[in-house]
Structures are given as C-alpha cells and as structure tokens.
C-alpha cells in the first residue's frame, strides 16, 4: 500500500518508499495476460504448466534448479537383421528316408496303383519280369534265357506314394521263362510257366509278403525231336510263400522267404530264398546309378542245395513312374534255372537286361 507523502517529511522518507513501488509493479506484471506473437492471449499458468511436461520425472532430472530441460530427438535403435528362422523341411526328410511316410497322409483305396510294396528280388532267377540274358554255359557255347512277363499291383489300401508305398496291396504276376539254343537255330529247349498272386504289406522299413504261385516246366518240341531219349519230366508245384524284407537304407534291402508246396510233381515241398539288393529307388535321369544284387535259392529236391546268382551293373528309375531298368553282368552257379533240367549243374556267365514294373 502506498502512503501519501507530506511536505513536512524529509527527502530520506521518499527514498525508502521507492522499493515498495517496484514490488507492486512486479506483482501487477505477474497477473497481466501474456500476448503471443500473433496477438492471441496466452494464459501464463497454462504456458508454464505445459513447460512442466518437458521436465523429466522426479529423481531423474539432469538439469539444475534454474535451468529448463531441453528436449532432443533421439535416434531410433538400429534395426539389426534378424537371424534366419530355422525350420524343418519334411519333404526333404521324407525324400532321404523312404521307409518313413508322412503321418498326415491318410490311407485310402487305390485301383491299379503305381509301384509295388514288396518288390521282386533283383537277382531272383524265377521272378516274373521282362528280362533277357545272353550267357555262356559250361556245356553250351551260347544260350539265350528270356523272361516274358511282369508283376503289377491291382489294388492298394494305403498311401499314394510310388517311391515309398505303404499299406496293403494285392498284386498279380505271370511269366514265361524260356531258354533258346542260339547255336541250333535258336530252338526252344524248355519253358517254365509261372503265375501267382502276392498279398503284401509295408510299413516303415519293413515289407511282408504272403503269396501263392504255380510253376510248371515243359521241354521244347525241337529239343525233344533232337533228343528223343531225354526223359520228359512234368515238374510242377503249387506253393504258399511267406517273405520279409528290411530296408537297411533307402537303397539297401535284405530279404528272406520260405515256400511250402501243397502240391508237387517231381519237385519237393520246401524251398528257401535270401539275398541282398542295392539299387536306386528314385528317378535317376539319363545318368543312372550302379546296382548290385545277390540271391541264394535252396530247394529240397536238391537236398537243400540250390543256386547262387550275382548281378551288377547300371540301373535307371523312370521319371514318371517307379519302373526299374537294369543292364549289367550276370553270374549263376548251381542247379539249372530251367527246372526241366533241375538235376543238371550249370555255371552261367553273361550279360543281361532286366525291366521291373
């Protein structure tokens, strides 16, 4: 409050009242609204309250009590390239492990499926397939052994894979296994006829077969004309077969089977087979891949002797199917592969072509 100055007061009193006027002026300035650059009135309390938002939280202020905090735009943290996400390639795994099937593939019915669950033995002398051997036999200069036939699937309850089929499958087989004498006008020496129906089952690395087949042997007319005193044998057998094969790897298979004939003529009931096949199972392209096969066949009519067959060479698997074509060397030692001459010992060496469906 300003008090009036009397004339009777000395000059020293006027000097003492000056600070009071300065204080009042400052208080008045604090209550006057601030004017912005554009002429608008800005509430100073709002201005200062907004400025307080720029202050860091309590306890973290890095500025002094009389300093206003400055806001700075900080750089975003550098974006580093994330590591490649690891994933499991099921297709690649299944391609490299044919004995394992995709668990998500349901089994269903398939008519005339492509591929065999239980494949024919590569070096099996009496398997139904298409084949031809030009061989040198110890008692003959040159013979032509050929098999005209094959084995195919009729229906399957299982997956649809042609490379690694699994499930139950019924096949049919049939073939004429003929021997021609090249030196004597390519005369027919003998023919073995075979027909059968295998029931097969496959899961994982294992394959099982229960089959029936009939086999009968017949001498050729030209051979009988040239050898009228040769005994004509009606070699025949109707056989039940139980077999098992195991895929040690994708290409390597071990197998064995036992056969019992419920009807025989000349032959005896029991027979046993075992062996190893090593061959490609996937499309090979034109380059192909090597193969190797060995088969042992023991028969009761030979006092459980028999024959040993070894084959090796090059193989091709089709791009559009699972058919297998082979070409290579053929070696056979033991009782004749033509059962009309079953008591004769043969040693064969030659070149062969084989085709399996």
Q: What is the pLDDT of residue 322?
A: 87
Confidence (pLDDT) at 12: 44
Whether 17 and 5 have beta carbons less than 8 Å apart is answered as: yes
pLDDT above 60 (res 57):
no
pLDDT: is 89 or 296 the higher one? 296
Q: What is the pLDDT of residue 84?
A: 56
Please give the model's pTM, rounded to 2 decimal places.
Answer: 0.71
- CATH: 3.30.300.20, 1.10.3720.10, 2.40.230.10, 3.40.50.300. Which one for 92-356? 2.40.230.10
Contacts of 63 (CB under 8 A, 6+ apart): 69
Nearest to 303 by CA among 272, 274, 275: 272
Of residues 104 and 233, the one with the higher pLDDT is 233
Q: Which of 50-64, 203-217, 259-273 has the lowest mean pLDDT?
A: 50-64
pLDDT at 108: 95
d(CA 289, CA 283): 10
Residue 59's contacts (CB-CB under 8 Å, 6 or more residues apart) are none
**pLDDT score for 140:** 76
Give me the pLDDT at residue 50, please: 45
pLDDT above 90 (res 54): no
Domain ranges of the chain: 92-356
End-to-end CA distance of the chain: 121
**Phi and psi at residue 25, to the nearest 5°:** -60, -40
């Amino acid at each position: 409050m300003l008090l009036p100055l009397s004339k009777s007061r000395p000059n020293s009193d006027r000097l003492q009242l000056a600070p009071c006027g300065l204080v009042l002026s400052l208080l008045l300035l604090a209550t006057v609204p601030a004017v912005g650059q554009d002429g608008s009135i800005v509430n100073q309390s709002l201005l200062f309250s907004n400025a307080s938002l720029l202050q860091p939280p309590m306890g973290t202020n890095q500025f002094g009590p009389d300093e206003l905090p400055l806001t700075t735009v900080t750089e975003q943290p550098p974006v580093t390239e994330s590591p490649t996400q690891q994933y499991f390639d099921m297709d690649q795994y299944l391609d490299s492990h044919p004995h394992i099937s995709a668990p998500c593939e349901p089994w269903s019915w398939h008519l005339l499926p492509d591929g065999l669950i239980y494949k024919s033995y590569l070096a099996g002398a009496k398997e139904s397939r298409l084949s031809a051997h030009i061989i040198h036999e110890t008692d003959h200069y040159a013979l032509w052994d050929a098999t005209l036939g094959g084995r195919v699937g009729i229906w399957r309850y299982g997956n649809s894979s042609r490379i690694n089929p699994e499930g139950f499958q019924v096949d049919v087989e049939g073939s004429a296994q003929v021997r021609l004498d090249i030196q004597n006008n390519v005369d027919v020496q003998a023919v073995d006829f075979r027909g059968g129906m295998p029931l097969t089952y496959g899961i994982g690395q294992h394959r099982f077969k229960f089959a029936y087949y009939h086999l009968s042997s017949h001498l050729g007319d030209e051979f009988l004309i040239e050898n009228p005193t040769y005994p004509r044998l009606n070699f025949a057998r109707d056989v039940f077969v139980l077999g098992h094969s195991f895929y040690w790897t994708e290409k390597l298979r071990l197998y064995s089977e036992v056969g019992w004939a419920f009807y025989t003529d000349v032959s005896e009931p029991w027979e046993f087979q075992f062996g190893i096949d090593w061959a490609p199972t996937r499309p090979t392209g034109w380059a192909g891949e090597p193969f190797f096969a060995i088969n042992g066949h023991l028969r009761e009519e030979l006092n459980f002797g028999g024959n040993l067959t070894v084959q090796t060479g090059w193989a091709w698997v089709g791009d559009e199917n699972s058919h297998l074509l082979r070409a290579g060397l053929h070696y056979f030692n033991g009782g004749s592969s033509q059962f009309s001459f079953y008591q004769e010992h043969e040693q064969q060496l030659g070149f062969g072509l084989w085709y399996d469906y």
